Amino acid sequence: MTSPGSSLLPFLPAPVAVADPDGKAVYVNPAFGEAFDTCEGETRGRPLAEIFAGGAREVVLAATDRVCREGRTVRFRLREGDHAYAASAAPIAAEGANVGIIFLFFEEPAGERVLSYHREIQEPLAELASALDSMLEQTGGRRAERFRAQVETGLRASERLRKWSDELRDAVAQRSERPAQAVADALAGAHEVGDAAARTARVAGHQLELLLPAALPAVKGEPGRLVDAFVRFARERLEAAPEGSRFTWTAKALKAGVLFSFTEVPPDDARSFAPEDECAPASLSAVTEPLGGSVARVADPVAGVTTAVRLPLA
């Protein structure tokens, strides 16, 4: 592998770190040293994750593990002190083999940071609501009336927290409107949506299949707003579906854009068809149509409901 120090990496304003296939630091550029209060001499040969503390260490460890197992670029977010970063970890290949990992960190603007916090909050909220619902079903009879009241209070509090979290997200999104020519990494966004949907599917007792290609072209749109809208839509559908439903999340390149599809198939004994199932979700239309994209929904009593979103190429 070419020496990182002989490349342009030392001159990049964004923090960059290079690790070997075992996740040990080979090189960090000066911007990385300034951002994370370290230098190349202190990091060389150490596991890169050890440079970070607390939750950030676990995030970097998880990203390193996924790059090694899946051999693809992984996007993630981490917080270090008072700063939040949108980061990527990508494999470095030579002669068909992975010889290292390169990490790139971009400090997130305040608005993007709040949107990412919102997405993180939604997962424990969904788990809390699911646990309380389960407890509510098990607290029947007169002797359990007091416990039922407590569980119902918890459910109402959880719903209020979700409501205020959504209102905060909407307020931030309105204040930080981005031009329609912003560029989004379609593949990274598709994986981020798929990962969030998979976590919700596990909690709700559903099956989720991810059918994503090895590469996708960039599309128009602000990445944070697009991912947030897709994740919100997927979670709403997953939480509303009867237990045991099957879902598929796919993405594929078209001549003039990228097509994302979310298909839901309820169990045989719970399949039904309603006219509103063919109405395009307003939440997705609001973020895609200003970009020149489109949203379509097709419902079939046998094949289920498919929501397809087309985004134009950047």
User: Does residue 265 lie in a domain region?
Assistant: yes
User: Does residue 250 lie in a domain region?
Assistant: yes
Q: Can you give the residue range of the structural domain that contains 72?
A: 12-107
Q: Are residues 131 and 77 in the same domain?
A: no
Q: Are residues 238 and 309 in the same domain?
A: yes
| Backbone phi, psi, residue 139, to 5° | -105, 70
Q: Are residues 95 and 18 in the same domain?
A: yes
Residue 45 — left, alpha, or beta (φ > 0 → left; ψ -120 to 50 → alpha)?
left
For position 75, which CATH number holds? 3.30.450.20
Q: Are residues 120 and 31 in the same domain?
A: no
User: Does residue 3 lie in a domain region?
Assistant: no
Residue 262 bridge partners (DSSP): 249, 307
Confidence tier at 180 by pLDDT (50, 70, 90): very low
Instruction: Say if pTM beats, i.e. exceeds, 0.85.
Output: no
Question: pLDDT higher for 36 or 40?
Answer: 36
What would the two tokens of residue 136 be? 């509510």
How far is residue 234's CA from residue 259's CA, in Å, rounded to a whole number?
16
Q: What is the pLDDT of residues 64-78, one digit of tens each?
A: 888 888 888 888 888
Residue 304 — left, alpha, or beta (φ > 0 → left; ψ -120 to 50 → alpha)?
left
Q: Are residues 172 and 183 in the same domain?
A: no
Confidence tier at 172 by pLDDT (50, 70, 90): low
User: Final residue of a domain: which of 74, 107, 140?
Assistant: 107
Task: Indicate if the pLDDT at residue 145 is higher than 90.
Answer: no
Q: Is 105 exposed, middle or buried (0-12, 13-18, 19+ CB in 10 A)?
A: buried
Q: Could you give the number of structural domains in the chain?
A: 3
Provide the 3-class DSSP secondary structure of residue 259: strand
Residue with tokens 């909050």: 121
Q: Are residues 204 and 310 in the same domain?
A: yes
Q: Report whether 262 contacts 249 (CB < 8 A).
A: yes
Q: Are residues 202 and 312 in the same domain?
A: yes
For position 278, which CATH number holds? 3.30.565.10
Task: Indicate if the pLDDT at residue 170 is higher than 60.
Answer: yes
Task: Indicate if the pLDDT at residue 305 is higher than 80.
Answer: yes
Of residues 246, 247, 253, 184, the one with CA closest to residue 212:
253
Q: What is the pLDDT of residues 248-272, one digit of tens each?
A: 999 999 988 999 999 999 887 666 6
**What mean pLDDT is reported for the chain?**
80
Q: What is the pLDDT of residues 100-127, one digit of tens each?
A: 999 988 876 655 556 666 666 776 777 7
Across 28-37, 71-80, 129-138, which has the greatest mean pLDDT?
A: 28-37
Q: Are residues 169 and 151 in the same domain?
A: yes
Name residue 145's amino acid: E
Distance of CA 34 to the CA centre of its chain: 28
pLDDT for 301 equals 77
Task: Indicate if the pLDDT at residue 142 is higher than 50.
Answer: yes
pLDDT for 42 equals 82
